[in-house]
Amino acid sequence: MEVSDKLAMDFNTILCSHTLMLLLLISFSAYIYFRAKKSPLLYSYLSVEGIVALWMIAKIFKTLSPRVEMRWFFIIVQYLAIDSLGVCLLVFAYIYRKNKKPSKKQLILWSIPPALSFLVLVSNPLHMTFYSYFDIYKDRFGPAFYVAQSVHYLYLLTGILILSHSFTKQPGFRGKENLGNLFAVFVLLPLLGNVYYIAFKMNLLPWIFSFPVFDFTPIAASISLMLFVIPTLTFRFFDISPISLGRLYDIVPQGLIFVDTNLCLYGGNRTFYSMLHLGKKTVSILQLRQLSSDLDDESIKLLQNLTNNSTLYEVEIQLTDGRIIKVEKHPQKNGHFLLCFYDITEISRNRMLLTQQNKELEEKAGLLRNMADTTRDLAIARTKAQIAQNVHDILGHSLTVLIGTAELAADNDVPEATQKINQIEELLICSLNDLKNALLGKGMKWGETSLIKAIRHLKNENIQVDLQVHGKTYELTGEQTEAIYRLCQEGVTNAIKHGKAKTIYLILRFQPKQIEIFALDNGTGCQNINKNYGLTGIERRIQKLSGTINFTSDGESGFTIRATLPKQARD
């Protein structure tokens, strides 16, 4: 059959518009996938976009089909996408609203009506109630189509209502509900477009567009999906999993509220209202005095001074129940302020306790200084006595040996006498060195152990390694030396790689019966410690040598490794 110019133009319009929109949708989906955090919300959104893309692909191939059988096949593919779209949109809306995935039972129940609708379409050649007429270029809807379409509308409308309601609750639209409602309207585009197209097919409405007649619903759906997500990208919605920024804004432990140029409060989170026992009302700072029994006149004055003074960014207020609240001011671009309320009651109490303890420590430090002076005098006296004893021992031993050697030299021949005199010279030199050390108060020099030398080689440009050694050092067994070195090595590696630390302190405390090892960094730390391969390895090494080890961190002030090893005799 020859294709008329009008029909060819219709085909070109369908193919070009759907192909361009398909490429745009795929590009946009790829951008979202690679930029957003992988979460159930992201995958549910991409499933909706994937279904719409399948719908457009089926329409393109349906338009290009040269035979009625091939056209019917792509009609089936098209309605597979249409019947799946409602379920996928409902899943996306459910996760968007509830912050969790629906159960398997819910998915099965939601899938039953679309599945029945699809079966009616597939079996249409047997009853001709979905399409009452169908050929290569034309089709006419039957009564089953309108029933199936009602099911589609019910699913789409339910999903759209959930999305629209949740959309305006995003933190970026607080105080901008009209803008949020405007964006939410775009999710109605595919539904309205499909209603208009069906009304035209039923001769209820005229075709008002300048382009040829075709079902532009998937194009409208693609546009609405992309417009729906653009504001959520601005507020980084997809980067938060498994809960949204709005939920996080409400559950943070700090009270947050915005203040406009008229000193009116808006957009407060749940913590703020519960902290001051307020109802959720938009009030001014002056009205807080009447609405909250926790605030007195002095507190209100401090808050007013904070918002009016451009150089003041924080104050501390005391509530009537004794709590102490720190309020910080963060200016916004539009001239408004974000006020952050921190409950620092415990911190203030600890600060006062610390001040009192510091005072007591200063007093005790004075006593310790007096004791130190006395101890120093005793140490000097003991050192003098020790030096005298050393000089006596060195001279007594050396002179005795020298006399005996000289007598032997006198009784022997010249060659043997010369050898004895050389021995006397060597003994005199050694004795002189020992005598100098004794006069200078130097005892036996304890050299650095091989372990300490090895640890010093851990220093690098990425982190400052502070090695401290306490006690009288001694050589350890080979296994102990390696275990301690590996512990320090892992501590430095983790401090650089995970903790982003600037300094790590490695402390070796040599005691008579055991050695204690500490690795403490000043990095970010972690709330939950998951032992990696390195931590597990050093734990096994220490436990194998009958030692103990533990890892601690409060999530704010770094990471600490502490281990102990019993002293063992070297082989």
pLDDT digits (tens, 9 = 90+) for 340-391: 999 888 888 888 889 899 899 988 988 888 888 888 888 777 666 546 544 5
Could you list the beta-strand ranges (E) of 211-323. 255-259, 265-266, 314-318
Residue 304 reports pLDDT greater than 70:
yes
Question: Mean pLDDT over residues 410-420, rounded?
Answer: 65
Residue 405 reports pLDDT greater than 70:
no
From residue 283, alpha-carbon distances to 181, 194, 262, 320, 550 in Å are: 24, 45, 10, 20, 52
Question: Mean pLDDT over residues 76-92, rounded?
Answer: 89
Query: Alpha-carbon distance 405 to 1, whole Å?
Result: 132
Residue 186 reports pLDDT greater than 70:
no
Question: Mean pLDDT over residues 527-541, rounded?
Answer: 83
Phi, psi of 366 (to 5 degrees): -60, -45
Q: Which residue type occupies 10?
A: D
Looking at every residue in the chain, the average pLDDT score rounds to: 77
| pLDDT for residue 192 | 67
Burial class from Cβ neighbours inside 10 Å (0-12, 13-18, 19+) for residue 514 reads middle
Lowest mean pLDDT among 66-75, 180-189, 490-499, 550-559: 180-189
What is the signed CA dihedral for 478, 484, 487, 493, rounded to 10 degrees? -90
Residue 497 reports pLDDT greater than 60:
yes
In 3D space, the residue among 467, 455, 564, 449 whose CA is nearest the CA of residue 516 turns out to be 564
In 3D space, the residue among 213, 180, 199, 310 whose CA is nearest the CA of residue 6 turns out to be 213
If you average pLDDT over each of 223-227, 253-257, 456-460, which comes out highest? 253-257
* pTM reported for the whole predicted model: 0.42
Q: Which residue type occupies 171?
A: P
Query: Alpha-carbon distance 52 to 68, whole Å?
Result: 24
529: its two tokens: 């410690």
Residue 215 reports pLDDT greater than 80:
no
Cβ proximity of 124 and 130 under 8 Å:
yes
Lowest mean pLDDT among 303-317, 371-385, 526-540: 371-385
Q: Which long-range contacts (CB under 8 A, 24 or more apart) does 299-307 make?
A: 302/327, 303/327, 304/263, 306/339, 307/259, 307/263, 307/337, 307/339
206: its two tokens: 């005229």
| pLDDT for residue 400 | 40
In 3D space, the residue among 186, 189, 180 whose CA is nearest the CA of residue 246 turns out to be 180
| pLDDT for residue 288 | 79
Query: Alpha-carbon distance 514 to 523, whole Å?
Result: 29
Longest CA–CA span in the chain (Å) reads: 143
Residue 235 reports pLDDT greater than 50:
no
State CA 4 to chain mean position distance.
Answer: 61
| pLDDT for residue 471 | 86
Lowest mean pLDDT among 54-58, 147-151, 156-160: 156-160
Higher-confidence residue: 287 or 228?
287
521: its two tokens: 């960094």
Work out the pLDDT band at 55, boundaries 50, 70, 90.
Answer: confident
| pLDDT for residue 520 | 92
Phi, psi of 320 (to 5 degrees): -65, -20
| pLDDT for residue 290 | 76
What is the signed CA dihedral for 85, 87, 92, 96, rounded to 10 degrees? 140
Query: Alpha-carbon distance 164 to 92, whole Å?
Result: 12
Query: Alpha-carbon distance 406 to 411, whole Å?
Result: 9
State CA 498 to chain mean position distance.
Answer: 12
In 3D space, the residue among 96, 93, 62 whose CA is nearest the CA of residue 76 turns out to be 62
Higher-confidence residue: 564 or 473?
564
Residue 399 reports pLDDT greater than 90:
no
What pLDDT, in 10s, does the model give residues 333-342?
778 888 999 9
Work out the pLDDT band at 233, boundaries 50, 70, 90.
Answer: low
Question: Mean pLDDT over residues 285-306, rounded?
Answer: 82
Residue 402 reports pLDDT greater than 90:
no
Residue 456 reports pLDDT greater than 50:
yes
Work out the pLDDT band at 113, boundaries 50, 70, 90.
Answer: very high
Work out the pLDDT band at 564, boundaries 50, 70, 90.
Answer: very high
Burial class from Cβ neighbours inside 10 Å (0-12, 13-18, 19+) for residue 254 reads middle
Residue 45 reports pLDDT greater than 80:
yes
What pLDDT, in 10s, does the model give residues 2-39?
445 655 666 677 777 778 888 888 888 887 787 777 78
